Structure 1
């Protein structure tokens, strides 16, 4: 809502989300129960805001929360709702339904905030003229709500936002935010169960439930309203976000997934469409980026075989040179014979290991042995041996008596059973750190006319989940792990 002065950048906003899929009935969307839920959620967020207000560390933060009282109630599970109701995502029927749901949500949130203002007073920075003249308020507040706001004001300067819901949606097995389902199924690969690569489909919960209820054998038999992020026309995707933006007084976190062959001209068209539709921001993710990881819509191992052929390989006996622009990292290890310094240098583009330097920080142990070991590790790395194979050999070195004694007596040794094992653990730790840095650096922010908040993510390196080690999928404006539910935005 329009204010006389802007909301402070340091303000705090409490977030909460409602699962729309739970309001689908055989007779349509249950607006009565939905309004009751919005009412309860708005009150609940205000109560949590009051509880947490004195806990903010800075006085500036406490003042901001007190003066503006920002909350952010949102939704998720929209795609599941539409599938349950047999409505195609992005269709005129879907846009009309979202318009009605969003309007009901905004009106009920405004009404509840006005009733809270009646009991506790409006937020200190409340400006009645500015609020009543705002286009958002005029569009979303109905007659009764407008009367309550005119009489009592509003308890909150901000009420609605659609935040990333990666963890919530994965935990409940529904779609995130206002996005379509990412895919009807994922192709997973196992190497350990049968002694060879085995590929199998893992269906999205809403797809699996439908197929079981209707005795379908394959997802090709699904009706056409099972739309996925990869098959949806981007303009319909933009129009869906646009209709929600008219009912959301803050912002929307959402990702437009586009196919691998999406051109620069099409990207420009997408941004212009988003700008013309009134979006505050839009994020694009192109299929095929390395960050896609273990979750893929491929039906067979053909894609894996093709990608393997295009990998750069070294001829037997060929050793590449480590340039001066390597990125170095260092770990100081405590071994059975004293301090050991481990330095590793990585390729700045791929993050692959190129060289290592090992040196003893004390008189104990054999420094010449460490020099020889570091040279052999470096030679193997520059000869095309992947770091995991090198680490596997280092970890097969067994147990050193000196290491074991110091571990048992002083409990200060680095992780491992001997110097080579400790070095292997340090190298893999630095390697993963390097890969994370490359992943973070590979996000290109591209400003477009009149929309500085828009961005496109491209050429991303595969990113691992810090919680379970699985690969991440970029959706909902955030990296999310489909294996454990971890989300970078939570």
Structure 2
């Protein structure tokens, strides 16, 4: 049967109606979640089609078991993202026969036994890539790699240590495309490893390990030693009584380095490993293959090797009756009912995932490659299939915590709000586990369930204390799922639920955005003109539930408010003093720790800090997180990674800031060591009647160097017109001479290299290009670089001159009048990223680094 297809305009228009005029939500859905084939044909007109696709597939699985849910019952829970919201991978993949992709959001890999050989490391690298091409985010731990300087029996004689392999895994991640996204990777290492300090410092060199999140696994002994100023012993292997390498370090000094680096760059994250292992139910089965070794890229799912997890969230705001009124209450009865159904749907999705893995393995089997080539991929999925079916792990979470709290008249970050949030999470946990026990009666428990193994687990003991009847039934009937819960990032899905994200408070209830306009249009209002002459209109954007609050309280939502009036409105609202940047930071960490008691996996959350906080506060936050029972913690200090929302505030304060007051987190003034490989944009332009091309080398998204040459000429550069991106690779010969090659992928996926870019250039233009590259590397603001180019004396001043072409090539990297410092959205190109729950989320198109 031929499926009906829709144009982008048809899908966008229908989705715009579905989302009541919310262009961002409509664009996110069409771009990321509407079912498409590899030719870009769209097969769903609106999210209603997607929700029926998902509902029909889950209902098909339900029919295998007792008391099946109907497709209509499931659809009613999914419709308009009101109650139950599957995460990106299940939402995209369920019932989608155009992609052979996994439904899992999270994977961890790891070689059993001796994993520090080149063979084992290369195998992990290949497994990582094979998983990422099927859409999954991957984590793995590097603690088994021997430290730098250790003797090895190869030509190197001594080991290079962990850091070079961090860069290798990072580069592999950056090369894997996932339908407009890049792969997501978490690298971790134990603080006990002798190379832990090098690991912690690895990302402080600009341009290094840019394709991975990094977190350090910290044990209680280290935290205690750091707090008391005592020495701490590192060793390799990190476990065992007969280490090959052993040394005592100053725990306090290394702790201060962790704090400093996190303050300066938001990494490394910290994983409180003893808390993770102590609380982990799967680790009750560690000897059966369920020993936790690392986490997924955002840290919310600690996993054993070759296990995976699928996620969904429950929209907490939808359970508030009479929101934003004095009579507001939370409908616990409806919530309990829906949580039990959500856990049941999650178990159905495991069956759907096992079907997907079977399709993947069949695809691998039918591939024309030799057995030697495809054996690693096939064995990888065999292991994942076995582990997924063995434990049946799920990840039921929540979103809209911030909006729920505000709708109930509470203020995020206060003790009352925390107490209520804990009660909601406790209710969720008990009912998810009740559902898992009920399914064990109907469908059978997970394969290795053993109540005796779990009897002393702290999480299980909380269930026993708070619901003895549930615990009694669990011992009698077992449980369907080895672990059930998480709180994950919901960056793009929260754009479609039109709520706050995950456990986070509102980022800003009101903010200002700019859009470029034609100043000659008589109906256009010009509010801002940048240094290059581009004109912008500024407009106010309201958080959706802030508008609901205004409507409930009879406040005109159509009026054009002044800044003072907006400030007054926010001060009257339940979002006042409850945004990401002004909640009580220590209270937020304590709230995370309290909620963590009722989450069997972990929580992805970010503590947002203003730029002017000192390192001592970061120290206190991390210590508080550890003492409060958090399993991990991430902080983000404003300015460490360029934020792009323009706060609705007196922007003149920023404009008057002196150079000496620039945040210390800005990039260094010069990058002394050019990476061997740079991402590259290809920009074409006319030079009089000649066709030219510019290669713009990018370091973290910022122009770092530029090369220009003739295109499609016998003495120039022959390049397909479809090529817009690639890599510039620097080679340094034994004589010290340097050569720059351009590499891109052709239509068949093969890498093609254009050697010796410098040899293709007119010497005069080459010298100018070296000048421009020099000032770019010294981080001269792009607007000043463009002025420098415009002042070069090259004869003709008509618009097609070489220098104007170069100006245009560089101008594309200027956004809202300021240089994009490596944080332009890779999807839409706008500098519109905010940092939430360990992820960078684009507020313009909804793209997410790890969603």
Normalising by the residue count of structure 1, what TM-score does the alignment of the two structures yield? Answer: 0.76
For residue 835 of structure 2, the aligned residue among 474, 480, 490 is 474
Equivalent residue, structure 2, for 1:240: 591
For residue 80 of structure 1, the aligned residue among 403, 406, 418 is 403
Equivalent residue, structure 2, for 1:18: 314
SS in 2 for 1:468: coil
Assess if the C-alpha contact under 8 Å between 2:693 and 2:711 holds in 1: yes
Q: CA deviation at 1:272?
A: 0.7
Assess if the C-alpha contact under 8 Å between 1:24 and 1:30 holds in 2: yes
Q: CA deviation at 1:424?
A: 8.6
For residue 194 of structure 1, the aligned residue among 512, 525, 532 is 525
Alignment of 1:18-417 (within 5 A): 18-25=314-321, 26-56=327-357, 57=360, 58-141=381-464, 142-190=467-515, 192=517, 193-197=524-528, 198-216=537-555, 217-221=565-569, 222-223=571-572, 225-226=574-575, 227-293=578-644, 295-306=645-656, 325-327=673-675, 329=678, 351-356=702-707, 358=709, 363-364=714-715, 370-379=762-771, 386=783, 396-397=799-800
Assess if the C-alpha contact under 8 Å between 1:54 and 1:62 holds in 2: no
SS in 1 for 2:402: helix
Deviations 1:300-325 (A, max 9, x none): 3314523596799xxxxxxxx99984
Q: CA deviation at 1:258?
A: 1.3
With 171-180 and 367-376 compared, the bigger mean Cα shift is at 367-376
Assess if the C-alpha contact under 8 Å between 2:683 and 2:695 holds in 1: no
Deviations 1:50-94 (A, max 9, x none): 111143351010011011111000001011011111012122221
Change beyond 3 A, Cα 1:38–1:345 = closer
Distance between the aligned counterparts of 1:113 and 1:64, measured in 2?
18
CA RMSD of aligned residues (A): 3.9
Assess if the C-alpha contact under 8 Å between 1:395 and 1:420 holds in 2: no
Assess if the C-alpha contact under 8 Å between 1:98 and 1:243 holds in 2: no
Assess if the C-alpha contact under 8 Å between 1:189 and 1:200 holds in 2: yes
Assess if the C-alpha contact under 8 Å between 2:436 and 2:479 holds in 1: yes
Distance between the aligned counterparts of 2:798 and 2:385, measured in 1?
52
Deviations 1:196-215 (A, max 9, x none): 41544322222222234324
Q: Does 1:463 align with 2:785?
A: no
SS in 2 for 1:291: coil
Normalising by the residue count of structure 2, what TM-score does the alignment of the two structures yield? Answer: 0.46
Equivalent residue, structure 2, for 1:404: none
Distance between the aligned counterparts of 1:363 and 1:27, measured in 2?
75
Q: CA deviation at 1:38?
A: 0.7
Distance between the aligned counterparts of 1:462 and 1:153, measured in 2?
50
Which structure ranks higher in relative contact order (CA pairs < 8 Å, sequence separation ≥ 6)?
A: 1
Assess if the C-alpha contact under 8 Å between 2:708 and 2:769 holds in 1: no
Assess if the C-alpha contact under 8 Å between 2:489 and 2:604 holds in 1: yes
Change beyond 3 A, Cα 1:89–1:190 = same
Assess if the C-alpha contact under 8 Å between 2:694 and 2:706 holds in 1: no
Runs of 5+ consecutive residues of structure 1 not aligned to the other structure? 313-320, 399-418, 433-438, 440-460
Distance between the aligned counterparts of 1:81 and 1:323, measured in 2?
46
SS in 2 for 1:469: coil
SS in 2 for 1:186: strand
Alignment of 1:436-455 (within 5 A): none
Distance between the aligned counterparts of 2:842 and 2:407, measured in 1?
25
Assess if the C-alpha contact under 8 Å between 1:184 and 1:219 holds in 2: no
